[in-house]
């Protein structure tokens, strides 16, 4: 563990009647990862952003009629510096997270898609919040990161069983005229990439497409065009998800609204740059899956949503050109 020589110390007091302000300041200090040396004295490793945040909390205290002093602090001896760093050991916090994931893992199979998604988001927020205040990362943090990756993979498997692996190679440009009136097949209980890809196929590639929803990829008929599973005609290629592979295959990447939709699907399927509309789309899809057991009905309902998003992104692109 490397030694830190620069520290920040905030000493604050608030009037006894300022209960609401006291709670607000306390929550702010906790969110920053401060350690309380004693009542009203809070320590942090130095840093420009942390200094600004502490100064803001100090200003809030003085605005409520209290007092605040923000000071630079420095231990006299190296041993004391190590002791200060040890105050920020997050091992127990990481252990609590891992314990909660272990307990949650026992009941994952009984959760709905909406509940799984909600749990996944909460757990991700929990570990990201802890990592943000883990100023001296160590073995416990690395172990927790590995445990989170394993737990998150378990959730992803339940949300999207048989999710395809990334395939190597290039993408051949195809003529949509040769792919009209075909049967297309993918895994049933549609999720983000599959429902968006099915919409893209019917809307831009094969208006007369028929779809077969598979219990397992091995059930794909020989004459059907499979998509979004390992070995399918259209699946993940390189860093592209299936939706993006279909776009590239059929020359649809000149449509800026589709590119924006592709970015949204990519983020929700494998991660990536945030797209503001992604959270809303995922919530609508999760709710539709709860209400509708039939994938044809699910595709019909989500096609309306995707049509609307395509129009929305199209208008945005047009405005950006002017």
- Per-residue pLDDT at 153: 79
Distance of CA 234 to the CA centre of its chain: 25
| pLDDT the model gives residue 1 | 46
How do the domains of the chain map onto residue ranges? 7-86, 91-159, 176-321
Bridge-based pairing state of the strands 41-45 and 7-13: antiparallel
pLDDT at 5: 67
The dihedral region occupied by 72, where left means phi > 0, alpha psi between -120 and 50, and beta the remainder, is: beta
pTM of the model: 0.57
pLDDT, tens digit (0-9, with 9 covering 90-100), for 137-155: 999 999 999 889 888 878 8
Report d(CA 14, CA 25) in Å as an integer.
Answer: 10
> What residue ranges of the chain have pLDDT lower than 70?
1-5, 161-163, 165-169
Distances (CA, A) of 162 to 10, 188, 217: 52, 11, 8
pLDDT, tens digit (0-9, with 9 covering 90-100), for 203-212: 999 999 999 9
7-86: CATH topology: Alpha-Beta Plaits (3.30.70)
CA atoms of 27 and 12, how far apart (whole Å): 14
Cα–Cα–Cα angle for 145, 150, 155, rounded to 5 degrees: 120
What local confidence, expressed as pLDDT, does residue 165 receive?
Answer: 65
What is the per-residue pLDDT for 78?
Answer: 75
Other CB atoms within a 10 A radius of the CB of residue 47 amount to: 13
């Amino acid at each position: 563990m490397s030694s830190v020589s620069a520290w920040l110390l905030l000493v604050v007091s608030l009037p006894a009647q300022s209960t609401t302000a006291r709670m607000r300041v306390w929550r702010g200090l906790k969110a920053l990862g401060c350690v309380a040396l004693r009542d009203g004295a809070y320590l942090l490793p130095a840093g420009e952003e942390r200094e600004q945040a502490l100064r803001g909390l100090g200003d809030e205290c003085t605005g409520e009629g209290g007092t605040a002093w923000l000071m630079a602090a420095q231990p006299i001896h190296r041993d004391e510096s190590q002791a200060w760093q040890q105050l920020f050991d997050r091992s127990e916090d990481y252990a609590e997270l891992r314990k909660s994931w272990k307990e949650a893992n026992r009941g994952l199979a009984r959760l709905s898609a909406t509940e799984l998604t909600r749990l996944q988001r909460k757990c991700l927020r929990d570990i990201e919040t802890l990592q943000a205040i883990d100023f001296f990362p160590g073995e416990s943090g690395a172990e927790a990161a590995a445990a989170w990756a394993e737990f998150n993979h378990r959730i992803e498997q339940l949300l999207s069983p048989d999710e395809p692996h990334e395939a190597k190679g290039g993408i051949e440009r195809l003529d949509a005229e040769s792919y009209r009136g075909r049967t297309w097949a993918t895994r049933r209980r549609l999720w983000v990439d599959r429902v968006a890809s099915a919409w893209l196929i019917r809307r831009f590639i094969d208006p007369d497409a028929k779809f077969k929803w598979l219990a397992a990829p091995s059930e794909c008929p020989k004459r059907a065009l499979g998509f979004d599973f390992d070995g399918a005609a259209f699946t993940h290629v390189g860093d592209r998800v299936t939706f993006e592979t279909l776009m590239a295959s059929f020359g649809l990447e000149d449509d800026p609204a589709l590119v924006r939709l592709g970015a949204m699907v990519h983020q929700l399927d494998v991660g990536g740059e945030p797209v503001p509309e992604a959270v809303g789309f995922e919530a609508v899809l999760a709710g539709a899956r709860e209400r509708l057991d039939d994938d044809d009905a699910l595709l019909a309902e989500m096609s309306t949503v995707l049509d609307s998003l395509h129009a929305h992104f199209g208008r945005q692109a047009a405005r950006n050109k002017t």
